[in-house]
Amino acid sequence: MSVYCNGHRASADDLAGALVNYGHFTSLQVRGGAVQGLDLHLRRLRQGTEELFGSTLDVTRVQAWMQAALQAEDVVDASLRVTVFSRAFDFRKPLQVVPVDVLVAVSAPVTLPATARRVRSVVYQRELPHLKHVGTFPLFEHRRQALQAGYDDAVFVDTQGAISEGTTWNIAFGRGGDLVWPQAPALRGTQERLLQAGWGGEPQLAPVRLDDLAGFDAAIACNAAGVWPIGSIDGVAFPGSEAVCGKAKAVLLQAPWDSVLG
pTM as predicted: 0.92
Question: For residues 59 and 64, what is the distance between their CA atoms, to the nearest angstrom?
Answer: 8
What domain count does the chain have?
Answer: 2
Residue that finishes a domain, picked among 107, 130, 163: 107
Question: For residues 231 and 76, what is the distance between their CA atoms, to the nearest angstrom?
Answer: 34
Residue range 167-223, pLDDT digits in tens: 999 999 999 888 999 999 999 999 999 999 999 877 889 999 999 999 999 999 999
**Cβ of 231: how many Cβ atoms within 10 Å?**
18
Residues 169 and 102 in one domain: no
Residue range 24-63, pLDDT digits in tens: 999 999 999 999 999 999 999 999 999 999 999 999 999 9
How wide is the angle at C-alpha 41 spanned by C-alphas 35 and 44, nearest 5°? 180
Which CATH number goes with the domain that contains 95? 3.30.470.10
Residue that finishes a domain, picked among 107, 141, 162: 107
Residues 188 and 137 in one domain: yes
Answer whether residue 62 is part of any domain.
Answer: yes
Residues 124 and 103 in one domain: no
